[in-house]
Amino acid sequence: MQKLESIAEQIRKEFDSQTSARDNALAQARQLTRACSLAIRAVHRDDVEGMNTNLGEASQLANNLRDSLKNYPDLFYAGYTQDALKEFVEANITCALIRNQPLQTPGELGVEPATYLNGLAEVIGELRRRTLDILRHGYSEEAERLLGIMDEIYSILVTMDYPDAITNGLRRQTDVARGIIEKTRGDITFSLRGEHLEQSINSLLKQMNGKQVDGQSGSGNIIEP
């Protein structure tokens, strides 16, 4: 039984080490998620300096998270870790697309392919947010550009026809993305028609005002007896 107690003590030490690594990973994941959220908020506000600052912080946190879990693959592939890295992907891709900059690859971001694709799927929601912000000021070609990117992302996601165990639930994310794109397409179409209607009304008003001026000038040509 003395040997059993020695075995149990070794197990306790391993569990203590894993628990410490898990607690540390949870704290880093929360910090990473927050930095990514701030970066996305900054790019929507056209705050480039704030965006770059928070992306830099997020990159450092992501590196620290990966390094701290090198010896704990089960913790690295746990849901909370991959969810935080998915937010990291979403922030980087969203900022790049809105700023019209090149995209980083999964290797450059240091994430798994499934995590990258799920982050990419969530970018569509942020592009819709950006599009609606633009449409509040009227129809714009920038809104059309963003819609085109959303369509392109969807066309890639829909080809990833693999089991959910491989893609980590990408199929559901793809279905959600499709609905978001269709709503956005409808919003842009409505805005464009409103723009055309406004132009037509303005053109008609100008024509009516022009005829009214001509009529007034004509009625002034009265010959007194």
Q: Which residue has the higher pLDDT, 218 or 124?
A: 124
Q: What is the reported pLDDT for 137? A: 83
Same domain for 94 and 117? no
Is 4 part of any domain? no
Same domain for 120 and 195? yes
Which of 103, 84, 83 has its CA nearest to residue 93?
103
Is 218 part of any domain? no
Whole-angstrom CA distances from 34 to 66, 87, 122, 186, 225 are 17, 9, 16, 32, 87
**Residues 69, 25 contacting (CB under 8 angstroms):** yes
- CA gyration radius for the chain? 28
pTM of this prediction exceeds 0.85 = no
Contacts of 3 (CB under 8 A, 6+ apart): none
Same domain for 40 and 118? no
Q: How is residue 23 written in tokens?
A: 């607690």
Q: What is the reported pLDDT for 56? A: 97
Same domain for 101 and 123? no
**Residues 155, 139 contacting (CB under 8 angstroms):** no
Q: Which residue has the higher pLDDT, 14 or 221?
A: 14
Give the Cα separation of 105 and 189 in Å (integer): 33
- Of the pLDDT bands very low, low, confident and very high (cuts 50, 70, 90), residue 196 is very low
8-54 pLDDT, tens digit each: 888 999 999 989 999 999 999 999 999 999 999 999 999 999 999 99
Q: What is the reported pLDDT for 3? A: 86
% of the chain with per-residue pLDDT over 90: 63
117-176 pLDDT, tens digit each: 999 999 999 999 999 999 888 777 899 999 999 999 999 999 999 999 899 989 999 999
The count of other CB atoms within 10 Å of the CB of residue 34 is: 16
Domain span at 166: 112-207
Average pLDDT for residues 84-98, to the nearest whole number? 97
Same domain for 134 and 194? yes
In the 8-state DSSP scheme, what is residue 46?
T
Where residue 189 sits, what CATH number does that domain have?
1.20.58.2140
Q: What is the reported pLDDT for 64? A: 94
Mean model confidence pLDDT for the chain: 87
**Residues 35, 65 contacting (CB under 8 angstroms):** no
Q: 69-78, 89-98, 137-146, 211-220 — which is least confidently predicted?
A: 211-220
Answer with the one of 106, 134, 165 that is the final residue of a domain. 106
pLDDT exceeds 80 at position 1: no
**Residues 139, 193 contacting (CB under 8 angstroms):** no
Q: How is residue 54 written in tokens?
A: 């928070």
Give the Cα separation of 188 and 99 in Å (integer): 20
Give the Cα separation of 85 and 79 in Å (integer): 10
Q: How is residue 211 written in tokens?
A: 């005829």
